[in-house]
Structure 1
Amino acid sequence: MPRAAINVNDGFYGNHTISYNVIFNTVRETSDHGPINTWDRQPFLRDAVQSDVPSLWQHTSYIHHNVLYNNYNSFYPIDHDDGSCFYEDSYNFQVYGGKKNYLGHSKMDHHEIYVYPDTKSSQGTGVCIADQAPSRGSSGWNEVWIENTCILYNSSVPYNIWYCDTANLFVPYLASNKIYIPSDTQVAFTCNVNGTSAQLSLDQWQSYGLDIGTTVQSAPNIETIIQWGREMLQNTI
């Protein structure tokens, strides 16, 4: 497939559901896309906040119970690009990619499994979360990443959160996640501390109120990961 398999342009109205698909071998002739691609560049008037009352807010769309392979030239399994907002992503088994937010807001990711996102490294994609260009009052607000599982293959750096600064934190809400890193490595959460980029341990990261309830453990074998995916997809609705 030359480009994305599923594309949602400008999220028109919202209230879309993308579920129970297996998508792979996309973006073979282009780049900077993914198996599922979304953007919100053009606002529309809708009635999402109150019936019959125009609003620029849209209904939430749902992406759940998909198996997504981020191979070939894909950047992210679910490429929420260019202002994407009002999405709930859950129970997806995503291989070779993590979560993306670029200039968007109001997205929740929960109960996802991300497998080896660090095997793809284009434009900072090789992490569990890439939160790009957040700006107070414009983008990056109301982003939620909770109760997810992310298994890193080589890296021990789970997040790429642009402009992270402990003196003025503006990051997604992070909690109760399970992060797995290679054995004999130490997790490193990258953020500015006192004006200097620092590599924080889990305890240090959590001391700022971030990722409360999150654990970091050594990565399991691939058979275990596949079993986790099978159980998630078969035993949840």
Structure 2
Amino acid sequence: MDPHGMPSGGDWALERTGALFFEGTENLLIESCIFEVLDGNGIMISGYNRFGNITTNEFRWLGSTAIALWGYTSGTDVPGMGWDGTDGNQPRNMSIMYNFVHELGIWEKQSSFYFQAKSCQNTIMGNINFNGPRAGINFNDGFGGQSTVAENLQFNTCRESGDHGPFNSWDRQVFVTKVRNGTASPEKDWDYIYSNFMIANYDSKLAIDNDDGSNYYKTHDNFFAYSSRGMKNDFGGHDNRHYNNIYAYVGTGFIINGQLKGHEDYFYNNTVVQTSDGNYGTPTCSGDGKTVVHDNKIYTPNGKVTECKMSLAEWQAKGNDPGTIAGKWPEDDVLIKMIADLLSLS
């Protein structure tokens, strides 16, 4: 119940506090600790921090978020806030690895296993996360880029919320950094989401929710299950690419907003197992910013697939979506082998 602040342009308010609080550190190590029955955040990484490692800890029964990274920027009259992130006063190059995180958000429902705002170039890898009210991993803005989300297991997220999914991002606010090419630019670099096992049960709407302007994400070689939609990008989002993923028993493969030429989204080489026949995605169907769609495998109960208000065959006859094929649901053991091969599971 302490005073909250506005980290950046996402939905969340947050306390800049934690059971462990760090500012101005380098090479921080938090290892093999147990965080249990805490009313607020577990760990707060605030402002300048570099090359820290939070690894092999357990977080359970927390009132709010397990691990939060929240930087400072400038450019306005409000200290710590504004568009300018070029001074580097943010958590960067932090590693969040092999943690076991569950039973979160007992009091604060806008909470997650991992939260970052005005922070970049981080690695979130090999964690197990389940039982929380909202998204398990939340990027509150598009600051900088070059973060990696890989080899995580997530399920039972969004238990007290009907929207988004295991991973959620926003990008409603302009930030200038030097991350992309070493010069000050409002354009972020790529973020990467790969080799994750994410189950979007509890009626989560999306497997990956790139919300409200999110851009420059490469999402590949993941297994996603049970969401209403696999890929989602809306409200000005662009340059998001999904490829080599498996989406199991989803409503549709993807939904995309209108985009500009040169900043199209991509959806290719994916396997989509849908809960019903019909539309397997909602691309931008015409104009200069057409979604790049090709070489997908689509499975429905009866193998009947549509796209852009036509049958798949009719749409392809007009030169669209080359290489995509449709068929009936695979047997369970066939699908399991696909998943095992994708994630190199023995």
What TM-score, normalized by structure 1, do the two folds share? 0.82
- What secondary structure is seen at the aligned counterpart in 2 of 1:145? strand
Deviates more, 1:148-157 or 1:74-83: 148-157
2:207 match: 77
Residues 1:68 and 2:198 are matched in the alignment: yes
Assess if the C-alpha contact under 8 Å between 1:173 and 1:210 holds in 2: no
1:130 match: 255
1:188 match: 306
Assess if the C-alpha contact under 8 Å between 2:138 and 2:167 holds in 1: yes
The one-letter amino acid paired with 2:184 is P
Higher-helix-fraction structure = 1
The one-letter amino acid paired with 2:306 is A
1:142 match: 264
Q: 1:12-61 CA distances to partner (integer Å, 9 max, x unpaired)? A: 1100000111101001112222100011011111224432x211111101
Residues 1:8 and 2:139 are matched in the alignment: yes
1:152 match: 274
The one-letter amino acid paired with 1:131 is I
Q: How many residues align?
A: 211
Q: 1:62-99 CA distances to partner (integer Å, 9 max, x unpaired)? A: 00001111111421111110111010000110001311
2:231 match: 99
The one-letter amino acid paired with 2:238 is H
Assess if the C-alpha contact under 8 Å between 2:144 and 2:180 holds in 1: no
The one-letter amino acid paired with 1:173 is V
Given the superposition, is the C-alpha separation of residues 66 and 74 from structure 1 closer, same or farther in structure 2, using an over 3 Å criterion? same
| Distance in 2, Cα, partners of 1:207 & 1:44 | 43
- What secondary structure is seen at the aligned counterpart in 1 of 2:305? coil
Q: Which has the higher contact order (CA 8 A, sep 6+)?
A: 1
RMSD: 1.9
Following superposition of structure 1 onto structure 2, how do residues 1-237 of structure 1 map, counting pairs within 5 Å?
A: 1-51=132-182, 53-97=183-227, 98-103=230-235, 104-118=237-251, 127-132=252-257, 134-136=258-260, 141-161=263-283, 164-165=285-286, 168=287, 170-183=289-302, 185-189=303-307, 191=308, 199-234=309-344
Assess if the C-alpha contact under 8 Å between 1:141 and 1:172 holds in 2: no
Bigger radius of gyration, 1 or 2?
A: 2
| Distance in 2, Cα, partners of 1:208 & 1:117 | 27
How far off is 1:135 after superposition?
Answer: 4.5
- What runs of 5+ residues in structure 2 fail to find an aligned partner? 1-131
| Distance in 2, Cα, partners of 1:226 & 1:136 | 38
- What runs of 5+ residues in structure 1 fail to find an aligned partner? 119-126, 192-198
- What secondary structure is seen at the aligned counterpart in 2 of 1:116? strand
The one-letter amino acid paired with 1:105 is H
